[in-house]
């Protein structure tokens, strides 16, 4: 079986090169769509890639639910994202394509298209930024209208009834909200603070480890296979973790998705703090992870889906960015601390290059972010907000700890 990083690269190549000709073919034979539903009863949103991006869709989903309280709102995504929708009550049904193998993905998508046709959707929102495949799926599902993001000279625009330009100077969450508002002809705009994603965790799921006596910090040293270059170096996380454990009364919990246990365990072993560091990589599903994060004092992570998960649960977060810009894809919450060098070559992954890292500078955006640059700001962030209690010592002694 191909590694996920390889499957993603192959899928991107097929989408870019094969999708161009498939769109021309489908456009030449498809039925015209001229009727605009006055009040849609059935709505579908398509977003295959990125847990973080789906979380940033939440304000748009919340808006649609408020605007059309009796409408059926469904979502089409990848099977690996299904667990997230336990935290999104605005969605009635989730359709999931299996991406474990490319052949299986294509077969499952064809079967899903046949199911979607029977739903007779009024509106389909293609929330993918760059993919041709999502526009093909939306068109083949035969809705009354398709609304999606457009790019200059994009073949994908042929299949859109309403083409909405993606604005690089706006947050991704605002782009999603603008997509659905333009799609239904609403020109109003809510207060920016209302556009923060909100996830709802009805109850605390059981997790394999109980943390009831001491506060804890959750740390994610990983990044999804979509762009592993987003990882801050392991040894930097080790130094940061040792400093936190030395200065504060806290445990440290390391997390990771499938295939990330070995990488995470290497960090845990290097920290060398038995009884204080707990590696839960590959032990939690996404719903259990949300329960773990909800009771954390702080969440520290690379640019990744779990970072957005923590922000949407309104936890204080610390994020490391480099290949991607936090101005567009940063976590949205009240208490956040972002480290981003903003080098002239950053960001090198964007909507226009299919979120592919094109590094020409030996990952300086992450490597040049030194621990000595992080520790002072992080300590101020923690101390000024009382996120963690200091270890028993005089304040003067604490102030001279350099870690």
pLDDT (tens digit per residue) in 67-94: 999 999 999 999 889 999 999 999 999 9
Give pLDDT, residue 101: 75
Spans of all domains in the chain: 4-195, 216-399
Measured CA to CA, the distance from residue 344 to residue 37 in angstroms comes to: 46
- pLDDT score recorded for residue 37: 65
Look at residue 99 in the predicted model and tell me its pLDDT: 79
Name 248's Cβ contacts closer than 8 Å, sequence gap at least 6: 382, 388, 389, 390, 391
Q: Note the pLDDT of residue 213.
A: 66
pLDDT number for residue 197 = 93
- pLDDT, residue 398, reads 47
**How far is it, in rounded angstroms, from Cα 275 to Cα 216?**
12
Which residue is listed with tokens 């560091």? Answer: 277
Q: Are 279 and 264 in contact (CB under 8 A)?
A: yes
* Burial zone of 173 (CB within 10 Å; 0-12 exposed, 13-18 middle, 19+ buried): buried
CATH topology of domain 4-195: Rossmann fold (3.40.50)
Spelled out in words, what is the top-level CATH class assigned to the domain 216-399? alpha beta
pLDDT at residue 180, as a whole number:
93
Query: What pLDDT does 21 receive?
Result: 77
Q: How far apart are CA 5 and CA 304, in angstroms?
A: 15
Predicted confidence at residue 394, as pLDDT, reads 43
Residues 137, 133: Cα–Cα separation, whole Å: 6
Q: Do domains 4-195 and 216-399 have the same CATH topology?
A: yes
What pLDDT score does 4 carry?
Answer: 67
Question: Which residue ranges of the chain lie beneath pLDDT 50?
Answer: 1-2, 394, 396-401
Helix (H, G, I), strand (E, B) or coil at 174: helix
- What local confidence, expressed as pLDDT, does residue 114 receive? 93
Question: What is the Cα–Cα distance from 124 to 179, expressed in whole angstroms?
Answer: 11
């Amino acid at each position: 079986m191909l590694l996920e990083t390889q499957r993603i690269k192959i899928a991107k190549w097929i989408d870019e090169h094969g999708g161009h000709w498939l769109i021309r073919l489908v456009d030449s034979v498809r039925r015209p769509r001229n009727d605009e539903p006055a009040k849609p009863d059935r709505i579908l949103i398509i977003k295959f890639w990125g847990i973080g991006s789906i979380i940033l869709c939440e304000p748009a989903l919340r808006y649609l639910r408020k605007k059309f309280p009796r409408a059926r709102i469904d979502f089409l995504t990848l099977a690996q994202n299904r667990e997230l929708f336990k935290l999104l009550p605005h969605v009635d049904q989730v359709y999931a394509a299996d991406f474990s193998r490319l052949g299986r993905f294509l077969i499952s998508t064809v079967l899903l298209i046949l199911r979607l046709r029977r739903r007779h959707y009024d509106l389909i929102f293609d929330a993918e930024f760059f993919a041709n495949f999502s526009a093909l799926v939306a068109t083949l599902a035969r809705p009354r209208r398709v609304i999606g993001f457009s790019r200059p000279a994009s073949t994908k625009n042929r299949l859109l009834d309403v083409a909405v330009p993606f604005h690089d100077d706006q947050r991704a969450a605002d782009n999603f909200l603008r997509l659905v508002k333009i799609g239904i002809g609403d020109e109003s705009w809510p207060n920016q603070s209302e556009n923060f994603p909100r996830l709802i965790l009805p109850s605390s799921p059981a997790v394999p480890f109980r943390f009831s006596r001491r506060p804890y910090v959750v740390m994610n040293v990983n990044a999804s296979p979509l762009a592993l270059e987003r990882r801050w170096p392991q040894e930097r996380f080790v130094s940061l973790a040792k400093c936190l454990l030395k200065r504060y009364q806290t445990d440290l919990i390391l997390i990771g998705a499938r295939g990330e246990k070995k990488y995470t365990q290497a960090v845990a072993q290097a920290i060398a703090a038995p009884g204080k560091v707990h590696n839960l990589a590959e032990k939690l599903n996404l719903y259990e992870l949300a329960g773990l994060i909800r009771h954390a004092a702080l969440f520290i992570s690379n640019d990744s889906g779990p970072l957005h998960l923590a922000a949407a649960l309104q936890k204080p977060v610390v994020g490391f960015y480099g290949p991607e810009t936090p101005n567009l894809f940063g976590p949205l919450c009240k208490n956040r601390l972002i480290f981003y060098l903003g080098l002239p070559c950053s960001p090198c992954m964007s909507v226009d290059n299919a979120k592919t890292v094109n590094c020409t500078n030996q990952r300086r955006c992450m490597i040049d972010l030194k621990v000595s640059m992080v520790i002072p700001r992080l300590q101020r962030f923690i101390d000024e907000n009382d996120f963690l209690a200091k270890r028993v010592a005089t304040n003067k002694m604490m102030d001279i700890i350099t870690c």
